Amino acid sequence: MARSGPVDRASDRWASIVLSVLLHGAIVAAIAYSWWTYKSDRPAPTLAIEASVVDAKSVPGIGKLPPQPEPAPPPPVVPPPEPPPETQPQVEPDGPPQPTPEELAKREQEQKEQAAKEAQAKQQEDDQKRADQEKQQEAALAEEKAAQEKRDEEKRLADEQAKKAQEKADADRKARETADAKKKADEKRLADEKQKVDQQAAADREADLRRSLDQELRQDAARSSGALASWQSQITARIQRAWLRPASARSGIECVLNVTQVPGGEVTNVRIGTCNGDQAVRESIEAAVYRASPLPPPPDPSLFERSLVITFRPD
């Protein structure tokens, strides 16, 4: 658009000049034609003279005319000068006036400058187009590069995620295998331990059974020998010695004592069962049992019992 502006303005100016000249020429031609037509069609002016014809003989004094001299030869007829040709009004030729050399040179210089400007504008436009194309190519390359980098990054992230997922799956599988192996090992160990415990418990039960049988045999032998009765008599005698008879105690007292002892004879609990004494008697007997602790040991360890049932008869 910058290139076509000056050319359009020059063409418009010449078109205006041509139209103006044509209009003025037409006006002048019309005026000249009208004047020439009026001039050529106008008739020459004539003078009107009134007169009457008279005979010379009838006029007095004119009967005899003196002799007239010979008429001189007529002068040569000089033709009247031809009227100067009517000057036709100069009609300007159609079209713009012929430019002067200075105008031609100026016009040529302007055309050269205009051509140079147009060439420069075209060159600038071409340079701008090339620059725009280069920018578009660079932008396209940058966009493609960014897209490729994005695809590479997405692929890398996907590979990393897949790798992590695979590693996690492997780790989970190994953990499960390890857990299964540990569980099996624990189950086997527990089974072995349970088997050992069961075997030990069976052995202990068998040993306890044997000891119980042996103890029963020894107890039976001891009872049959009177050792148990002798030990119970010793315990009863010690309790009687430790008893402080209250004032309310009457003769014929008989009370059943439930005594709990530990190995070594120390009394840990005393409970009075059936008793024909009053409360004071009951309390005095219970206190006597604690004062008699520790109780005498049995002559045979197999006769030891934690719970003793003693019949207390002080009289």
Reported pTM: 0.33
Q: Show the tokens assigned to 59.
A: 């006029």
Identify the residue whose tokens are 């290139």.
3
pLDDT of residue 209: 85
pLDDT of residue 258: 94
Q: Show the tokens assigned to 194.
A: 């349970």
- Are 300 and 236 in contact, with CB atoms under 8 Å apart? no
- Are 243 and 288 in contact, with CB atoms under 8 Å apart? yes
Instruction: Say if residue 288 is exposed, middle or buried (CB neighbours under 10 Å; 0-12, 13-18, 19+).
Output: buried
pLDDT of residue 6: 47
- Are 288 and 246 in contact, with CB atoms under 8 Å apart? no
pLDDT along the chain (315 residues), means of 10: 51 78 85 73 52 55 53 59 56 66 86 89 90 91 92 93 92 91 90 89 87 73 73 90 89 91 91 91 92 89 87 85
pLDDT of residue 229: 84
DSSP state of 3: T
243 C-beta neighbours (distance < 10 Å), count: 21
pLDDT of residue 289: 92
Q: Show the tokens assigned to 99.
A: 């430019």
251: helix, strand or coil = coil
Query: Rounded to 5 degrees, what angle do the CA atoms 89, 91, 95 make?
Result: 170
- The runs of H, that is alpha helices, within the chain are 4-40, 101-225, 227-242, 279-292
pLDDT of residue 227: 81
